[in-house]
Chains A and B, each alone.
Chain A
Amino acid sequence: MAARTLTIDGRLVSARAGESILEAARDAGIHIPTLCYLDGLSEVGACRLCLVEVAGSNRLLPACLTPVSEGMEVQTATERLREHRRAIVELLFAERNHVCAVCVASGNCELQNLAIQVGMTHVRYDYLNPVCAVDISHPQFGIDHNRCVLCARCVRACDEVEGVHTWDVAGRGIHARVITDLGVPWGQAETCTSCGKCLLACPTGAIFRRGTSVAELERDPKRIAQIVAARQERW
C-alpha cells in the first residue's frame, strides 16, 4: 500500500494511504481525544472532539474521518481546539445527570477521563437537569439514560458487529434518546440477543450489567475491535 508523509503538530509522520488522521496520529504516539470513535466500528464524526486544524482548510476537520494526504499539515492541539474540546465536554456534563459520585462507571468512564484530559475544572453552562429514565426491564442489563452521551457506539456495535440493530436513536435535538427496537422497553425488544456488545461499547455507565458494583465492573471497549479482527481473519 502506498505511503503518505505528513506533519502532525510539526512532526513528520508516515501513514498508509487511506488511513485517517486519527490513525496516523495514534501510530505516531500523538493523542487526539475521541468519544464517539471506537476501533472496530464505523466512524460517524458526531462528538466533534477529534476536530483538528489542517493547513489550507478554513474548517475544522474530524480526524477520525479525514484521510491523510501527502504533505498535509495537521495541528491537533492549538489553543482554539483545546478551548473547543473543553467546551464540548462541559456541554456533555451539563446535558444530562452525570453524578460521578454515584455512577457505576466512576473511575472507569471515558467521559470522566475526557474531563481530566481536556482540563475541565468546572462546567460554565447551566446544568439542564433533565428527567431521564432508567430501563432495567432486561434480565441482565440496564440502561441509565442519565449517563448516555449519544455517541451511538451501542447502535453501531449492535448493527455492525452483532448484525442485529436492536439499538437506534429516536427523537431529535436535546430530546434524542437511544432506544431498543421501536422504542419498547429493552426487556421486550425481541431482536436483542443479549450478546452484551453494547455494554462493551458504552463509554460511560449508561449501559451496565445489572447487579454489578464498581469493583466488579467489566468494560473493555477494545474487545469490539478484537471481535471484528478475529472475524476478518477467519472469513
Chain B
Amino acid sequence: MDLAELHAIAERERARRKAVRVLCCTSSGCQASRSLELFHQLEAAVTATGQDEAVEVASVGCMGFCGQGPMVRVEPANLLFERVRPEQAPEIIAALAGQPCSVERGDPNHPFFTRQMHVVRRNGGIIDPERIEEYIAAGGYEALYRVLHDFSPAEVIQEITRSGLRGRGGAGYPTGLKWATVAKSPGERKFVVCNGDEGDPGAFMDRSILESDPHLVLEGMAIAAYAVGAHEGYIFVRGEYPLAIQRLNRAINQARKLGLLGSQIFETAFDFKVEIRVGAGAFVCGEETALIASIEGRRGQPRPRPPYPAEKGLWGFPTLINNVETFANIVPIIENGADWYAAIGTEKSKGTKVFALTGKVRNTGLIEVPMGMTLREIVEDLGGGSPDGTPVKAVQTGGPSGGCIPARLFDTPVDYESLAAAGSIMGSGGMVVMDDHTSMVEIARFYMAFCMDESCGKCVPCRVGTVQMHRLLSKIAAGQATPVDLEQLEQLCRLVRETSLCGLGQSAPNPVLSTLRYFREEYEALLREDAAASANGKP
C-alpha cells in the first residue's frame, strides 16, 4: 500500500457513488427504533421504483439528533427526515421524485445542527462505518501516511503538544505531555491503549464515535503508536457496546487487509497491530490501572499510582492510555495542523468537545461544540430548553464524578477550568439537564447508588463509605433524617474524597457536594428536628 494506491481506492469509491444517496442512521440508538428494518425497506423501495441506477441507500453512523431518530438524510438535496418508521420508506423514496410526503421533516438549519462544529464527528452520519473505502474516500489514512513519511516521532508529539489537545476522558491531562512521557520511558515493548469503557450514566459519545467512524480512532492510535514507539495496541470496549465492537472488529480486519495496520504499514518499518478487549461490565475498568489489570486478565481493580502507566503499564511496560475521543482528534490535528486546532476553543481548553445532551431537554442527542461555548447556549439554543417549558434548574456534567451546575451559572463557559471552578468536571461529556421537578437529593442519591454498585471493593472508604452515604441520602430523601445525619454525610464526603484509592472513590462524593453547595435548602427542607429519633454520635 502506498499513497497512489490509497488515492486509487478513494477514486474508485467516488466513481461508484450514485447521484442520490439516502443515508439511514444504523447506530445503536436508531436501531433500537427499528432503523435496520427501515434501511432494508428503503432499499426495497428504491428497487421497486426502478431507481437502482441513480439512487443508493447507505447505512451510516450517528447524525447526532438521537431523540428524533431514526434519522434519514438525502444527499445532495439535504433533506432530513425524523422519527421515520420502516413502513414510511416508500413515501421517502417517492418524495425524491417530488411526491408529497407525510414523514416528519427535520430542519438542517436548526441551531442544533448549525451551532455545532464537527471535528471528531465529521464523518458521523455521512459515511458507512463498515466500509473502509468510504473512510478513505473522505481522506482517511492520509494523515497516517504523512506522519510515517514526513514526520519524526518527536515532530508528531510536538504537533500534538502545540495543538493544546487535552485528554477527553475527563481529567484533561495534556495529551502531548502524556505522549512525550511514554516516548521517553525506556522499555523493550510499549503499548497504546484506547479506553472505550465509557460508562457514565447518560453518556454515549464514545459509543457513537466507535460506531460511526471506527477508522478515525484506529488511525489516531496508529499515529500515537508511531509517536511513542509502540507496536501493539489494545482497544478496551465495554461489553455493553456490541455494535461498536462489531464495527471495530470489521474495521481492524479491513485495515489489516489493506496493510494499514499490521506489519510494515505503508511500506515503512513501522508495525502496529491492534486487538480488542471486551470489558465485562465493570465501570471501574475505565480507571486506567483497573483497565490495565483487566487487559492482563486479572481482576479489574485499580492500584495506587505512581507508578503511572506511562512508566509502568501493561505487563510493566510503558503504556499510553487515551480515551476514544482523544484518539479521534489526532487525525484532524495532523491534517489541518496544530495552529488550526489551537485556534478553536479557549486559551486553556482547545478544540471541540462532544457532549451527550440528555434529560429534561427538548433536543436530545450528541453535539460537538467548540470549547468555551456557554452552558446556556448548549441547553437553550442547541437543546431548546425543557420539553414542557418547566424552568431548567441545573445541568449535571461529568457523570458520577461530576456535579450539578445551577441555572444561575449557565453563563459558565464549558472548559476544564470553568467547570471545575463551578464544582463539577468536564468528565467524558455526559450532560444531563434537570428541571424544577427534579429533586436534587434524589439526583445525589441516584449517583451514589451508582458509585456504590460500581465500587470494586478494594479500598475501605469507597467500599463501605459509599454504602453509608447512600443510606444517609435515602434517610434524608425519606424525610427521616436529622441535622446530625446531614453533618455525618458531609463528614463521610470528606473522608471518601480524601482517602479513597482511585478516582472512582475520590470523586464519588462530588454529586453530593455540588448539590449541597447549590441546593442545600432542598436537603434542609427534608430534615426534621427530632433529636431523639436519631443521634449517631455525641449530642
Whole-angstrom distance between the alpha carbons of A128 and B468 in the complex?
Answer: 9
Contact between chains at B464 and A91 (CB < 8 Å): yes
- Give A46-93 interface residues, CB cut-off 8 Å to B: 46-48, 51, 59-60, 62, 65, 80, 84, 87-88, 91-92
Contact between chains at A88 and B456 (CB < 8 Å): no
Which of A7-15, A132-140, A171-179, A211-219 has 4 or more CB atoms under 8 Å from chain B?
A: A171-179
Instruction: Indicate whether A94 sits within 8 Å of B464 (C-beta atoms), given known contacts A84-B495, A87-B491, A168-B299.
Output: yes
A151, closest chain B residue (CB): B460
Q: How large is the interface on A (under 10, 10 to 19, 20 to 34, 35 or more residues)?
A: 20 to 34
Whole-angstrom distance between the alpha carbons of A183 and B494 in the complex?
Answer: 35
Contact between chains at A46 and B536 (CB < 8 Å): no
Contact between chains at B499 and A88 (CB < 8 Å): yes
B389 contacts chain A at the CB level, 8 A cutoff: no
Contact between chains at A171 and B460 (CB < 8 Å): no
Contact between chains at B463 and A150 (CB < 8 Å): yes
Contact between chains at B299 and A95 (CB < 8 Å): no
Contact between chains at B488 and A124 (CB < 8 Å): yes
Instruction: Indicate whether A48 sits within 8 Å of B501 (C-beta atoms), given known contacts A124-B536, A168-B299.
Output: yes
Q: Which among B458, B461, B464, B498 has the greatest number of chain A C-beta atoms within 10 A?
A: B464
Instruction: Indicate whether A60 sits within 8 Å of B498 (C-beta atoms), given known contacts A91-B465, A171-B457, A172-B457.
Output: yes
Contact between chains at A126 and B500 (CB < 8 Å): no
Instruction: Indicate whether A172 sits within 8 Å of B454 (C-beta atoms), given known contacts A125-B468, A128-B467.
Output: yes
Whole-angstrom distance between the alpha carbons of A95 and B468 in the complex?
Answer: 9
B339 contacts chain A at the CB level, 8 A cutoff: no
Complex contacts, B465 vs chain A, CB 8 Å? 91
Whole-angstrom distance between the alpha carbons of A169 and B301 in the complex?
Answer: 10
Complex contacts, A87 vs chain B, CB 8 Å? 461, 491-492, 495
A45 contacts chain B at the CB level, 8 A cutoff: yes
Whole-angstrom distance between the alpha carbons of A171 and B280 in the complex?
Answer: 12
Instruction: Indicate whether A88 sits within 8 Å of B498 (C-beta atoms), given known contacts A62-B304, A173-B466, A174-B452.
Output: no
Complex contacts, A46 vs chain B, CB 8 Å? 458-460, 501
B323 contacts chain A at the CB level, 8 A cutoff: no
B453 contacts chain A at the CB level, 8 A cutoff: yes
Contact between chains at B304 and A174 (CB < 8 Å): no
Complex contacts, A92 vs chain B, CB 8 Å? 460, 464
Complex contacts, A48 vs chain B, CB 8 Å? 459-461, 499-501
Q: Contact check: which of B284, B452, B458, B461 meets A91 at CB < 8 Å?
A: B461
A132 CB to nearest B CB, Å = 14
A144 CB to nearest B CB, Å = 18
B282, closest chain A residue (CB): A172
Complex contacts, B537 vs chain A, CB 8 Å? 124
Q: Which among A47, A124, A150 has the greatest number of chain B C-beta atoms within 10 A?
A: A124
B194 CB to nearest A CB, Å = 24
- Give A20-52 interface residues, CB cut-off 8 Å to B: 44-48, 51
Whole-angstrom distance between the alpha carbons of A87 and B299 in the complex?
Answer: 27
A153 CB to nearest B CB, Å = 13
A64, closest chain B residue (CB): B304
Chain B 473-517, CB-CB to A under 8 Å as 1, else 0, gives 000000000000000100110010011110000000000000000
Instruction: Indicate whether A176 sits within 8 Å of B456 (C-beta atoms), given known contacts A48-B501, A65-B304, A84-B495.
Output: yes
Complex contacts, A80 vs chain B, CB 8 Å? 498
Complex contacts, B460 vs chain A, CB 8 Å? 46-48, 88, 91-92, 149-150
Whole-angstrom distance between the alpha carbons of A42 and B501 in the complex?
Answer: 16
Contact between chains at A45 and B491 (CB < 8 Å): no
Whole-angstrom distance between the alpha carbons of A27 and B458 in the complex?
Answer: 28
Whole-angstrom distance between the alpha carbons of A87 and B499 in the complex?
Answer: 11
B455 contacts chain A at the CB level, 8 A cutoff: yes
Contact between chains at A172 and B488 (CB < 8 Å): no
Whole-angstrom distance between the alpha carbons of A171 and B282 in the complex?
Answer: 10
Complex contacts, B303 vs chain A, CB 8 Å? 44-45
A109 CB to nearest B CB, Å = 16
Contact between chains at A84 and B499 (CB < 8 Å): yes
Instruction: Indicate whether A174 sits within 8 Å of B463 (C-beta atoms), given known contacts A62-B304, A65-B304, A124-B537.
Output: yes
A-B contact pairs, 30 of them (CB 8 A): A44-B303, A45-B459, A47-B459, A48-B459, A48-B500, A65-B304, A80-B498, A84-B495, A84-B498, A84-B499, A87-B491, A87-B492, A88-B460, A88-B499, A91-B460, A92-B460, A92-B464, A94-B464, A95-B463, A95-B464, A128-B467, A149-B460, A150-B458, A150-B460, A152-B458, A172-B457, A173-B453, A173-B454, A174-B464, A176-B456
Q: Which residues of A contact B (CB under 8 A)?
A: 44-48, 51, 59-60, 62, 65, 80, 84, 87-88, 91-92, 94-95, 124-126, 128, 149-150, 152, 168-169, 171-176
List the 5 closest A-B pairs by CB distance, nearest first: A176-B457, A173-B455, A91-B464, A45-B304, A48-B499
8 additional A-B pairs beyond A44-B303, A173-B452, A174-B467, beta carbons within 8 Å, are A47-B459, A65-B304, A84-B498, A91-B468, A125-B536, A172-B282, A172-B453, A176-B458
